[in-house]
């Protein structure tokens, strides 16, 4: 996220200071005398600044739009995975505790990339039904390789009840490590299968 904040600040600074330079006034030249003013340093062409700012702005907007699109699709897939029967009971906890963490993880993909090498990401469309853990996978649309895998599993804690543990796996460690997002309490009774209506 630091990259797009830095880019936004640079663009805003460029826009704000665009009209701040006032050239030396022409009225100071004396027509009666042929005195020449000393040569000034070459001026920066303002059109170059505007073009660069627009390019940076387009890149910032494309990153923000990509993150927004991915997080919107992630939300839909998560709700689809839980299904109406589970969602009616845990929706508030998921909204407050889980979704902000998912959005941070998705945004971190763009922070980790070089400025000129932004990934082209997409989200898988079919969560696992029944007892499967898969919510969705984020993959590189260019080569089809998974980048992140978001899962949820049922944990039964003795004398407490059932929890839904949301976590993700990363490609850089071979999808071995569980990176915890958070847990949401269900009940002491066994939860229904995923996507149950």
Give percent helix, percent strand, percent coil of the chain, each to the nearest 5: 45, 20, 35
Range of the domain at 181: 58-187
Q: Is residue 161 part of a domain?
A: yes
DSSP reduced 3-state for 124: coil
Tell the burial category of 176 from Cβ atoms under 10 Å away from its Cβ (0-12, 13-18, 19+).
exposed
What does each of the 197 residues of the chain score in pLDDT, given as a tens digit? 555 566 665 555 555 555 554 444 454 445 444 555 455 444 444 444 444 444 454 455 577 888 889 999 999 999 999 999 999 999 999 999 999 999 999 998 887 765 556 678 899 988 999 999 999 999 998 899 999 999 999 999 999 999 999 999 999 999 999 999 999 999 999 999 999 88
Q: Is residue 52 part of a domain?
A: no
DSSP reduced 3-state for 82: helix
Q: Is residue 34 part of a domain?
A: no
How many residues are listed for the chain in this entry? 197
When divided into structural domains, the chain yields a total of: 1
């Amino acid at each position: 996220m630091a990259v797009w904040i830095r880019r936004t600040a640079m663009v805003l600074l460029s826009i704000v200071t665009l009209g701040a330079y006032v050239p030396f006034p022409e009225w100071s030249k004396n027509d009666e005398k042929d005195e020449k003013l000393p040569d000034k340093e070459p001026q920066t062409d303002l059109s170059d600044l505007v073009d660069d700012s627009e390019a940076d702005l387009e890149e910032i907007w494309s990153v923000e739009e990509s993150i927004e699109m991915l997080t919107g699709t992630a939300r839909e897939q998560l709700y689809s995975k839980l299904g109406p029967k589970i969602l009616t009971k845990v929706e508030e906890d998921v909204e407050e505790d889980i979704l902000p963490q998912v959005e941070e993880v998705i945004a971190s993909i763009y922070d980790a990339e070089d400025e000129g090498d932004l990934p082209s990401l997409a989200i898988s469309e079919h969560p696992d039904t029944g007892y499967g853990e898969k919510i969705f996978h984020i993959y590189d649309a260019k080569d089809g390789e998974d980048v992140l895998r978001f899962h949820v599993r049922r944990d039964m804690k003795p004398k407490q009840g059932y929890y839904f543990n949301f976590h993700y796996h990363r490609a850089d460690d071979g999808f071995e490590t569980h990176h915890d997002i958070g847990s949401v309490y269900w009940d002491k009774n066994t939860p229904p299968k995923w996507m149950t209506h």
